[in-house]
Amino acid sequence: MNDLKVFSGRAHRDLAQRVCEYLDLPLGRLVTGNFPDGEISCKIDEDVRGRDVFLVQPTGPPVNENLMELLIMIESFKRASADRITAVIPYYGYARQDRKDEGRVPITAKLVANILTQAGASRVIAMDLHAAQIQGFFDIPVDHLYAAPVLDEYFRDMQLDADDLAIVSPDEGSIKRALTHVQALGGKLAIVDKRRSGASKTKQANLIGGPVEGKVALIFDDMISTAGSICGAAEMVHEAGAREVYLASTHGVFAGDALERIEAAPVCRVVVTDTVPLKANTATNKVEVLTVAPLLGEAIKRIHRNESVSRLFD
């Protein structure tokens, strides 16, 4: 492990520190800041020549600032002659634009993949990408991790009866994810039929499967951004007679009025992971944050030792 170095940008230094604690390594010395005109500065404060370097930097809000900082970090380590540079991106910004769903729009998930590769990244670690096919946008190896084991362990510790559970997919695109949780926790699968009318406007039309009446409903999604969709799903499940409703998501982005929507929604608790730092002005006690640092740390250790990462999910 002597050749392994972990560094962090400013996006989520706490998560990087927890990863280093798991690895029993000191966090690498890196100074980042801004020039008076807003440009980002970066200086590596230790020797990294020939080292296996991992850069922890989720590209969450402010997305453009964090993404640009990651690119500058990669460039710095490339010019400092690091042997391998792995970008550890727990939350991958611009992932929602992964295809042309209408004319004259970009595929920004592919654009960001190209930029990261061109900057000099040798490898990428990402967690719960919005669409699995984004792995194929990269011309370098991608290790796609899943927070499902962390979330499932939380609900398993609640000792919920499998016959009393309803696992709910908030839309058709999350059915495969929901089935994974059904296999781990038991219960019946229910699906919310969601209709999208714009970039941030959705409407819940029907509830398929179930039943949810009298059940404890667990609604799983990859991210909570404005919380409009998942709170709408919670409302529908509650109206269908669910006894308790819990929301679970890997990425708690909580943009705009998300926290206010969650506070008003008929949910007992919202469980997210620390892939994105939680806002300091969190005004609800419904949100609980689980750490993915051991999962990221174990993946980093296995990659450094050229061991299997997929074994983590067997």
CATH 3.40.50.2020 domain range(s) in the chain: 4-146+293-313, 148-290
Strand order across the 142-145 sheet:
4-8, 52-56, 84-89, 123-127, 142-145
What is the average per-residue pLDDT within 191-205? Answer: 66
CA dihedral 209, 210, 212, 213 (to 10 degrees): 90
- Among 78, 194, 215, 286, the active-site one is 194
Res 112: pLDDT: 98
d(CA 116, CA 86): 10
Q: How many residues does the chain have?
A: 314
User: Is residue 20 scored above 60 in pLDDT?
Assistant: yes
User: Is residue 283 scored above 80 in pLDDT?
Assistant: no
Residue 155: both structure tokens together: 């609900």
User: Is residue 31 scored above 60 in pLDDT?
Assistant: yes
Average per-residue pLDDT for the chain: 93
- CA 34 and chain centroid, separation: 26
Confidence of residue 284 (pLDDT cuts 50, 70, 90): confident
User: Is residue 314 scored above 90 in pLDDT?
Assistant: no
Residue 77: both structure tokens together: 């380590």
Confidence of residue 209 (pLDDT cuts 50, 70, 90): confident
d(CA 234, CA 148): 20
pLDDT digits 0-9 by tens, 109-160 = 999 999 999 999 999 999 999 998 999 999 999 999 999 999 999 999 999 9
User: Is residue 206 scored above 90 in pLDDT?
Assistant: no
Whole-number percent of the chain with pLDDT over 90: 86
148-290 belongs to CATH 3.30.1490.20: no
The residues near 214 (Cβ < 8 Å, ≥ 6 apart) are 241, 242, 243
Active-site residue flag, 301: no
3-class DSSP state of 235: helix
3-class DSSP state of 33: strand
d(CA 82, CA 47): 9
Specify the fold of 4-146+293-313.
Rossmann fold (3.40.50)
d(CA 229, CA 175): 15
d(CA 291, CA 18): 9
Res 312: pLDDT: 86
Predicted TM-score (pTM) of this structure: 0.94
Res 217: pLDDT: 97
Res 202: pLDDT: 59
Q: What is the DSSP letter of 199?
A: S
What is the average per-residue pLDDT within 179-189? Answer: 95
Strand order across the 287-290 sheet:
202-209, 188-196, 165-169, 216-224, 244-252, 269-273, 287-290
pLDDT digits 0-9 by tens, 80-100 = 999 999 999 999 999 999 999
The residues near 258 (Cβ < 8 Å, ≥ 6 apart) are 224, 225, 226, 227
**Contact predicate 9/41, CB 8 Å:** no
Peptide bond into 62 cis (omega under 30): yes
